[in-house]
Amino acid sequence: MIGVSDIWEAKKRIGGYVHRTPLIGSESIGEIAGAPVFFKCENLQKTGSFKTRGAFNRILSLTKEERSKGVCCYSSGNHAQAVCYAAKILGIDAYVYMPETATPSKVEACRSYGGRITQYGKTGADVYPAAKAFAEKNGIFYVDPVEDPYIMAGQGTAGLEIMEAIPDADTVYVQIGGGGLMTGVATAVKSLSPSVRIIGVEPENMNCMSASLEAGRITKIERRCSIADGLAGDAPGPLAFEGVSRYVDEVITVSDEEIGRATLLLMQRAKMVTEPSGACALAGLLSGKAVKGKKNVCMISGGNVNDAVLAELLSR
């Protein structure tokens, strides 16, 4: 498990490479929610998501010899873009495996950062083994999207920034996909202010963390589709499960309809374009399934929305 000291070290390490993203309030959304609401805008982070924090922290921590061989990862979108961008800035090669079903705009974004892209298989279950095999065969460091303490510590720097900006925040909502962002942010926030309530939010169709917490052990669920495709996963990893179990007060689930409404609301009232995964935390706050605080912070985790999804939401 990581500690807050790891997150402070990550903050020093990546400070010159990532944005300190704004934390803004919205009176109109606060009126709808019935309580003050603030947004941590990682949709405005470099590459459009929080993933850049973890990618830089992991790659900057490698030895010169490891960097000389490049890095490898598998991802359908945001993690791949973050790794490719960090590799470009640091002058090393990035080998990325993406499913054949990956959004074309995200594939092209990775190529624009200089990533060497291989598209393979339909799902993560197909792509992950291929990426790992390639990395092992060629002696290339594999950058895991979640189950890596350096990745989690990098993501946790967003939590430090939340508490620096609003030290009297009392409830923080964070979406859960693999659980790396949730673990990092919760570790940072709880270490600085143990009384803050941390609420995890998952799509109903991708609720592997809440299912695991309910069972008291890591539990694999059947993969289903969700509008919040960036939060896909069928089982949490051991580090993420331990982190969420230790630091998160409650995990709730929201429907695709609730996520879609939150995505539109952010565009209409806060003038922020987010991907549905990025709006999931706000959907959790608006759902009323968790007790609101006097000052609520919602993580906006990314803004790389699929054009087709955006068009469908706007047509509603």
Over residues 112-166, the pLDDT tens digits come to 999 999 998 887 778 999 999 999 999 999 999 999 999 999 999 999 999 999 9
Residue 263 pLDDT: 97
Please list the ranges in the chain whose pLDDT falls under 70.
Answer: none
Cβ-proximal residues to 138 (8 Å cutoff; 6+ apart), any chain: 69, 72
> How far, in Å, CA of 29 to CA of 37, rounded?
7
Tokens linked to 16: 């010159």
Residue 307 pLDDT: 83
Q: Are 124 and 134 in contact (CB under 8 A)?
A: no
Residue 77 pLDDT: 87
Answer yes or no: 88 catalytic: no
Residue 63 pLDDT: 97
- Point out the catalytic residue in the list 40, 46, 51, 295: 51
Answer yes or no: 301 catalytic: yes
> How far, in Å, CA of 126 to CA of 181, rounded?
24
Domains by residue range for the chain, with CATH: 4-49+148-315 (3.40.50.1100), 52-142 (3.40.50.1100)
Residue 37 pLDDT: 98
Q: How far is CA 157 from CA 38, 177, 242, in A?
A: 17, 18, 19
Please state whether the predicted TM-score (pTM) of the whole model is above 0.85: yes
